[in-house]
Amino acid sequence: MVVTGTWYLVLSAMLFTIGGVGLLVRRNPLVMFMCIELMLNAVNLSFVTFARMLGDVDGQAVVFFVLVVAAAEVVVGLAIIVAIMRRRPRATADDLALLKG
């Protein structure tokens, strides 16, 4: 058995699906954030696989930028969650309906 690029892509699709379903199902904002990280990592894995399949290092450069953006996103997202939780302890994603008309 030889590992081909398709194996990595299938694994990446499975990971992305698990992350996406988790994002839809879970209500704790922190866990929803972790599911977003899972989806980002699935995409990173497929980028590295494509970089290898096409022999082009630019795919790895994209992963580098995804890492930076993910770090910035986590910082701002967690700050928002902390700000919300200060006012409403134990809030879930369903409780945040302030903008509902």
Partner 1 sequence: METFVFLVGAAVILAGALGVVLSASATRAALSLIGTLFGIAVLFVAQEAHFLAAVQVIVYAGAIVVLFLFVLMLLGVDTTEDLSIEPITAQRPAAIVAGLAFFGMVMLALSAGADSVTGMPGAFDPVAGTVPDIVALGRSIFTTHVFALEATALLLTIAVVGAVVLVRKAETIDPDDDISPQLQDASTEDGEEA
Q: Is there binding between residue 30 and partner 1 (CB under 8 A)?
A: yes
Q: Which residues contact 39 (CB under 8 A, 6 or more apart)?
A: 15, 16, 19, 20, 23
Smallest distance from the beta carbon of 84 to partner 1, in angstroms? 10
Interface size with partner 1, residues (CB under 8 A):
76
C-beta closer to partner 1: residue 75 or 101: 75
State CA 65 to chain mean position distance: 14
In angstroms, rounded to a whole number, what is the distance separating the alpha carbons of residues 40 and 94?
24
Segment 33-92, which members bind partner 1 (CB under 8 A)?
A: 33-35, 37-38, 41, 44-45, 48-61, 63-65, 67-76, 78-83, 85, 87, 89-90, 92
